[in-house]
Structures are given as structure tokens and as C-alpha cells.
Amino acid sequence: MGLLQNILAIIVVLGLLITFHEFGHFWVARRCGVKVLRFSVGFGKPLWSTVDRQGTEYAIAAIPLGGYVKMLDEREAPVPEDQLDQAFNRKTVWQRIAIVAAGPLANFLLAIVAYWALFVSGTTVVAPMVGDVLPDSPAAEAGLAHGDEIIAIQNDAVRSWEEVNLKLISMIGFSGSLAINVLPEGSSSERAYALEVDNYLTRQDPPQPLQSLGMTPWQPEFPAVLGQVVDGEAAANAGLQAGDHIIAIDDMPVEDWMQFVTMIRRSAGETLSVAYERNGEQGTLTLTPGSNLLESGGEVGYIGAGVESVTWPESLQREIRYGPIEAVGQALSRTGDMILLTVDAIRKMLVGLISPSNLSGPITIAQISGDSARAGMEAFVGFLAYLSISLGVLNLLPIPVLDGGHLLYYFLEIVRGRPVSEQTQAIGLRIGLAMVGGLMVMALYFDLMRLW
């Protein structure tokens, strides 16, 4: 069921992103007087198609990993003389720039609309309160303590752990004093701390912003109560059900969920005696955890079960909601911040501050799409906005075959006063295909490594 949800979620996500991207090209092309021959979502053989009164074919193809807008162009096929004024290559360089740039801009617009909807409907977040602080860590040496609520990092206000993590991720490679302002538990006056870091998060795989500073988020106690049990896995096969409270394993009392997880992880392939409570009655059963291999060569146990959700204290819940007009500015600001963060992440990967193993391909995107869909509409829309921004930024990279590569040629045409030769473009096309192909292979490789 989880695999099917992941597949459906990625089809919905990619379908929306591709449709918006290609519609951007299509809409501006039509406004510039270019004849569009085909608007296709997906590659390969069309599964469905129709033709409008202007002769444009709309198609949904079999391979949902992209799409394209095919326009009338003398470079691709002979054009009737009475239609030359509708050919893409006959348009001014500024019109061609507008048509090509419209795809990524449509992705940014989709993100703005998604964030606007989230801000208008309102989102409930958990205040970023510090839990444990590790001894001799940057956080401990600076003076942070259990119960401190983080309210600003580098003088930028933060209201949730998501905002904290995004700000800390943007600091990858930073050396010096990291300014963190907190509101101590039970106090109304804030305090400022300086955490000394050196090459913060450089080449971590994956980056662990909080752990690297020596602190963990505060969270309520999670009793060892099963919230969900996956069919066909060890927990379900043993007879455990959602709602069961795990009392002991091999006569050793289980105090909370984390202790239960620790005991399962170190018991791969071992037969355990599990005492549980269900509907006020106690019972015992045998459970044999499955085994997952680690990259280091070791193995950990798993049973295919999740914890029952726990209600967070109202004092730590923050609602973020804006009116329709104010939400526009907030959506523009959030989209701009995410664009800059994505561009900066690409730069840092190129200079070696971020490990290339953080690249994600279709498998990871499918997993995250499915997880966000299961987490609710708010998480799904937020992920859709983030992925739309990533797609827009990547398409603007100055690599031939991408929109950014075409834009590079057109700007060179403006500077030189004449188009880039077709021979140069052909060479660039081969280089671009090799670069994009290599990037896709790397992303798929790291996907498979994470999966294993």
C-alpha cells in the first residue's frame, strides 16, 4: 500500500509541476504569435490526445518524467511560407527569451500560490524549544539550556523548527560566531548567545544542523504505543495491532518509545518475548525483527510499526495565519528565500561544501511525495512548493538542453549582434546531454544507496 501511495503521489506531483512549467512556455508562445504544434505532458507514445481549433495537439504520454511544447520552427522542419511569421526562430530575441523563461517562472508562480494558500488557511507549528544539550558541545559552551525557545538566528526571526533548520542549512560552510537568541523557559526577556563553529556542516551526509551544535528539539514523552502496523512485516505477522502498549521485552520493562526502538534495532533476527496491553488486558507474544543493512556493513532490526501520535502542549503550538493581502507578501518572501537557498546550495555543492551524495532522484522524490501526502494536505502542498522552486532553479542553470542554456545563447546573441552558430549549439547540446545524463545517474545511484 505504501509503494502504491508513493507512486500515485509522485505522479500527481510531477504531473502538476510539468503541466505548470510547460503551460508557461505555451501561454507566452501563444501571446508572442508562435504556432504551437504539440503540448505534451510526459514523453513517449501518447496515451491520450486531442487537437484544438488552432491545430495544437494536447497529449498525455506514457513516461511521466517530463514534458515539452513543440513549436513551429524552421530549424526542425520546413515551414509553409504563409506561416513563417508564426515560427519561433523568426521571433525577436526578446520574445524568444520571454518564451523560454516562462517555464521556470511558472514554477515560481505555482510555489507562490501554494505558499499563499498555506498562509491564508493557516498552519500550526511547534515552537523551537531546546531539549537536551550535549556536554562540551558548541551549544553547551555558549550557555544554551534545556527549555530555551529559539526566537532568532543571525538576527533573523524563527518561529518553528522548520524555519530553524532552513536558516541553519543556509549557514553551511560558516566559520565564526553563530548568533542565537532565545527566550529562557519561564522568562519574558530574551538572551543572546554566540556559538563558535568552524566549517559548519561542511560535507556532512546528510547535514545535521541541530546535532552538530549539540542540541536536540524538545518533545513530549512518547509511550511505547503502536500507532500503525504495516501489513506483511514482523509486527503484523507476530499479531501486534495499532493501539497496543508495549510493556516489556524479554522481561525487561519498556519505559518509552525510544527505548523500544533501541531494543528492536539491536535485535535483528532474534526471537523476542513481547509483553503488551490491549484494551485493558495484557498478553504475550513472540516477535522476530527483520534486518536492514547499514552502509557501514552492520545491520539493524525493524518490525514495520510506527508510534502513536502525541498531542503537543498548547503553550508550544504557534498558529501562522495571514489575511489574503498580507499573505501575498509573505508568499513572495518565502518563495524568494527558498530560491536563494536552492541557488546557494548548488553553489556550495560545486565548491565542495555540500556532499554530492545529498542529490535526490526519482526514488527519493517518490518516497518524500508519499510521506508528505500521508502527513496531510499542509505537508503535501509545502513539499509541492519546494519541489516546484527546485525545478525552476535547475531549469535556469546555464546548461545546454535546459532552459537556462537557451537563455545563455540568446543573451550572447544580444551581446554579439548575431545568433550563436548552429554548430556551436550542436556541440553545446552534446555537452549538456552528457552533463544532465551524468547528474541523473548520480542522483539515481545515491537514491539506491539510501534505499539499501
From first to last of its 452 residues, the chain has per-residue pLDDT tens of 456 767 777 778 888 899 999 999 999 999 999 999 999 998 888 889 999 999 999 999 888 778 899 999 998 889 999 999 999 999 999 999 999 999 999 999 999 999 999 999 998 888 999 999 999 999 999 999 999 999 999 999 999 988 999 899 999 999 999 999 999 988 889 999 999 999 998 887 778 899 999 999 998 888 889 988 988 889 999 999 999 999 999 999 999 888 999 999 898 889 999 999 999 999 999 999 988 765 455 678 889 888 888 788 888 888 889 999 999 999 999 999 999 999 998 898 888 888 777 777 666 676 666 666 666 788 888 889 999 999 999 999 999 889 999 999 999 999 999 989 888 888 988 998 888 888 888 877 777 776 66
Q: Can you tell me which residue has the cell 517555464?
A: 103
Q: What gap in Å lies between CA 412 and CA 153, rounded to an integer?
A: 41
d(CA 443, CA 451): 12
pLDDT of residue 371: 67
22 catalytic per annotation: yes
Q: What is the domain partition of the chain in residue ranges?
A: 115-122+321-452, 130-217, 226-309
How far, rounded to the nearest angstrom, does the alpha carbon of residue 290 sit from its chain's CA centroid?
A: 29
Distances (CA, A) of 243 to 80, 128, 212, 285, 309: 71, 29, 35, 15, 11
Residue 129 is classified by DSSP as B
The amino acid at residue 239 is: G
Using alpha carbons, select from 269, 274, 265 the residue that is nearest to residue 301. 265
User: CA 215, CA 135: separation in Å to the nearest integer?
Assistant: 10
Report which of 182, 213, 216 is spatially closest to residue 198, judged by C-alpha positions: 213
Q: Which of 22, 74, 81, 281 is catalytic?
A: 22
User: To which residue does cell 508562480 refer?
Assistant: 109
Residue by residue, DSSP assigns 78-93 as ---GGGGGG-GGGS-H
Residue type, 263: M
Give 148's strand partners.
none
Based on the number of CB atoms within 10 Å of its own CB, is 296 exposed (0-12), middle (13-18) or buried (19 or more)?
exposed
Q: Cell numbers of 450, please? A: 539510501
Query: Quick one: which of 109, 104, 184 has its CA closest to 143?
Result: 184
pLDDT at residue 1, as a whole number = 47
> Which H helix or E strand runs over 227?
strand 226-229
**Chain centroid to CA 403: how far?**
22
The CATH code of domain 226-309 reads 2.30.42.10
Q: Give the amino acid at 441.
A: V
The DSSP secondary-structure symbol of 127 reads: -
Q: Which CATH superfamily is domain 130-217 in?
A: PDZ domain (2.30.42.10)
What is the rounded distance in angstroms from the CA atom of residue 169 to the CA atom of residue 235?
36
Do 130-217 and 226-309 have matching folds?
A: yes
Q: Which residues contact 408 (CB under 8 A, 6 or more apart)?
A: 398, 400
- Rounded Cα gap, residues 366 and 362, in angstroms: 6
Q: How far apart are CA 103 and CA 391, in angstroms?
A: 10
Predicted local confidence at residue 450, as pLDDT: 65
What is the model's pLDDT at position 121?
A: 94
φ and ψ at residue 32, rounded to 5 degrees: -90, 5
